[in-house]
């Protein structure tokens, strides 16, 4: 339900309840003063307090539905709970006063109750009104998660049952059992006190930010059932009116790429919002180490944490001792001392993670600039290199369909690009060995070639576009 509609529903039902409480209080007071019935007088005071409490509810509903602002980051919904707490105190005061008056009448043997048929009509009419209002309030409170309306519903429900007690007390007094009226008043006090206890317990739970029953277990179940989540390291839940604020920290493997972690977070947030309609969800992801991490995974992760790029990573097991080697890419213009310091720091971090006895060796090589300015090579160079490339490719019986040959000049050297095809069942290792062999021979033929980029495609697939 849209927020505006919910607010209108709450305001309308609270206004009608206020009018009903006022009418009931006036009628019961008039009947109680004429008859002298303590049971009816206690009901009148009960209805009068309901009238004041409903007015408080109406204010709380309108104030509590205001959106969050710079001073109230979680909104104003707790105003409804504060109103319900005040109503609880009023209910307890009514309970004490009724008990005192009832016991006093029983002790003093007070028979001053005048019974007439219209008293029964007044009480019976109030029962019908109480039932109608409690039902309407409960329905709206459940739909909008309003503490204040739920409190008002309890008031009218308590009124209804206590009116039954007054009705029985009046009937017995009619037949001469004078003590039935103060006893009925004590029954009314019991209903009111029980309603106050239930309302107070629930309101205090809300004000003390107690998580709704079962919500913690449900949220943990949702998190642990999300693919990629290892567990929940922190979970905080607090209700504020219809909104449930959820603050969760979920653990994920630290070897996952950032994009994959964000997908997991998004999926978890969606699952929480699906299960808790009005949830305001904050989920943080905590990357953690897992037992299944390989040494290879750890080295790549350490390099990434240092903001360094490595390739040709090799991890060897030498009779129980690990040997790690890799190529470290740094900008070509970097002084050797600075590049060596980066390599040394990375090697130290790897030893710290894998063990002091690990053999770590790095090879520093220049990283190409992000943007190279190039031009097409001259026609003579293109023909000469293309002819040699075609000759080398013909020697490789598993290579076919040489195409998309491009030769470009960058500074003092050349870059060679080409596409070719291999049978789909060949392994990457086999294909890489062939294109490596071509590259070595091509560079040996023309040392001005700085790099050869071969794009291998499986036979039968659509040609890769440029």
Half-sphere exposure of 95 (CA within 13 A, CB side): 18
Give the dihedral sign, CA 441/442/445/447: negative
Q: For residue 36, what pLDDT band results from cuts at 50, 70 and 90?
A: low
| Residue that has been written with the tokens 């905590």 in this structure | 286
- Provide the pLDDT for residue 411: 78
Q: What is the pLDDT of residue 94?
A: 74
- Using only C-alpha atoms, the chain has a radius of gyration, in whole angstroms, of 41
Confidence of residue 395 (pLDDT cuts 50, 70, 90): very high
**Helix%, strand%, coil% for the chain, nearest 5:** 60, 20, 20
Does pLDDT of 24 surpass 80? no
Query: Contact 322/339 with Cβ under 8 angstroms?
Result: no
The HSE-up count of residue 188 (CA atoms within 13 Å, CB side) is 38
Stretch 60-85: mean pLDDT:
60
pTM above 0.75, yes or no: no
CA-to-CA distance for 100 and 38, rounded, in angstroms?
Answer: 11
* Residue 431 confidence class, pLDDT cut points 50, 70, 90: very high
pLDDT at 448: 94
pLDDT in tens, 219-248: 999 999 999 999 999 998 877 766 788 999
pLDDT at 370: 61
Q: What is the DSSP string of 217-246?
A: HHHHHHHHTSTT--EEEEEEEEEETTEEEE
Higher pLDDT, 427 or 374: 427
pLDDT band at 3 (very low <50, low <70, confident <90, very high): very low
CB crowding 119-141: b at 16 or more within 10 Å, else e:
bbebbeebbebbbebbebbbebb
| Region of 275 on the Ramachandran plot (φ > 0 left; ψ -120 to 50 alpha; else beta) | alpha
* Ranges 167-176, 191-200, 270-279, 446-455, most confident: 446-455
Give the integer Cα–Cα distance in Å for 369 and 411: 12
Contacts of 427 (CB under 8 A, 6+ apart): none
Task: State the pLDDT confidence band at 19, using cuts at 50, 70 and 90.
Answer: confident
Which letter does DSSP use for residue 62 in this model?
H
* pLDDT value, residue 2: 43
Confidence of residue 125 (pLDDT cuts 50, 70, 90): confident
For 323-344, write each residue's pLDDT tens digit: 999 999 998 888 999 999 999 9
Q: Do the beta carbons of residue 166 and residue 188 sit within 8 Å?
A: yes
Q: How confident is the model at residue 66 (pLDDT cuts 50, 70, 90)?
A: low
Distance CA 156, CA 128 (A): 10
Confidence of residue 1 (pLDDT cuts 50, 70, 90): very low
Contact 37, 122 (CB under 8 A): no
Q: Which two tokens stand for residue 52?
A: 């004041």
Checking if the pLDDT of 83 tops 50, the result is: yes
pLDDT, the chain, mean: 80
Secondary structure E strands in 259-357? 279-288, 309-318, 321-331
Distances (CA, A) of 7 to 3, 15, 137, 233, 242: 6, 12, 13, 36, 11
DSSP state of 373: -
Residues above pLDDT 90, as percent of the chain: 34
pLDDT band at 433 (very low <50, low <70, confident <90, very high): very high
In this prediction, residue 466 has a pLDDT band, given cuts at 50, 70 and 90, of: low
The H-or-E segment that residue 364 falls in is strand 359-367
Residue 145: pLDDT above 50? yes
Q: Which residue has the higher pLDDT, 460 or 162?
A: 460
DSSP letter assigned to residue 462: P
Three-class secondary structure of residue 404 per DSSP: strand
Higher pLDDT, 201 or 111: 201
Pick from 386, 393, 395, 401: nearest CA to 457: 401
Average confidence (pLDDT) over 121-141: 76
């Amino acid at each position: 339900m849209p927020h505006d509609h919910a607010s209108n529903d709450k305001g309308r039902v609270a206004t009608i309840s206020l009018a009903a409480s006022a009418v009931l209080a006036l009628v019961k007071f008039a009947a109680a003063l004429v008859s002298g019935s303590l049971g009816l007088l206690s009901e009148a005071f009960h209805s009068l307090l309901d009238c004041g409490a409903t007015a408080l509810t109406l204010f709380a509903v309108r104030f509590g539905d205001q959106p969050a602002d710079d001073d109230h980051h979680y909104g104003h919904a707790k105003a409804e709970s504060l109103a319900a707490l005040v109503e609880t105190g009023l209910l307890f005061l009514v309970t004490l006063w009724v008990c005192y008056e009832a016991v006093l009448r029983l002790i003093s043997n007070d028979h001053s109750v005048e019974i007439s048929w219209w008293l029964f009509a007044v009480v019976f009419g109030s029962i019908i009104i109480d039932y109608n209002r409690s039902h309407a309030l409960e329905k709206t409170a459940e739909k909008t998660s309003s503490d204040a309306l739920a409190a008002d519903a309890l008031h009218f429900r308590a009124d209804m049952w206590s009116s039954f007690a007054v009705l029985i007390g009046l009937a017995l007094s009619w037949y001469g059992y004078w003590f039935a009226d103060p006893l009925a008043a004590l029954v009314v006090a019991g209903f009111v006190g029980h309603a106050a206890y239930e309302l107070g317990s629930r309101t205090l739970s809300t004000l003390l930010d107690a998580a709704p029953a079962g919500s913690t277990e449900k949220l943990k179940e949702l998190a642990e059932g999300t693919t990629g989540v290892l567990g929940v390291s922190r979970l905080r839940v607090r209700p504020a009116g219809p909104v449930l604020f959820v603050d969760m920290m979920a653990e994920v493997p630290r070897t996952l790429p950032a994009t994959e972690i964000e997908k997991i977070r998004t999926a978890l947030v969606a699952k929480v919002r699906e299960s808790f309609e009005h949830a305001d969800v904050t989920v943080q992801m905590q990357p953690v180490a897992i037992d299944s991490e390989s040494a290879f995974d750890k080295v790549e992760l350490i390099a990434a944490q240092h903001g360094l790029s490595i390739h040709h990573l090799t991890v060897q097991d030498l009779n129980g001792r690990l040997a790690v080697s890799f190529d470290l890419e740094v900008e070509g213009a970097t002084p050797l001392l600075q590049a060596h310091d980066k390599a040394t720091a990375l090697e130290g971090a790897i030893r710290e993670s894998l063990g002091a006895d690990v053999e770590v060796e790095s090879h520093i090589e220049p990283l190409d600039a992000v943007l190279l300015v190039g031009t097409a090579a001259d026609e003579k160079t293109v023909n000469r290199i293309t002819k040699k490339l075609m000759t080398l490719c013909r020697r490789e019986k598993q290579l076919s369909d040489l195409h998309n040959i491009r030769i470009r000049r960058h500074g003092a050297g050349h870059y060679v690009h080409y596409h070719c095809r291999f049978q789909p069942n060949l392994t990457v290792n086999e294909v890489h060995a062939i294109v490596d062999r071509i590259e070595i021979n091509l560079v040996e033929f023309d040392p001005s070639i700085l790099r050869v980029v071969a794009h291998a495609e499986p036979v039968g697939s659509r040609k890769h576009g440029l």
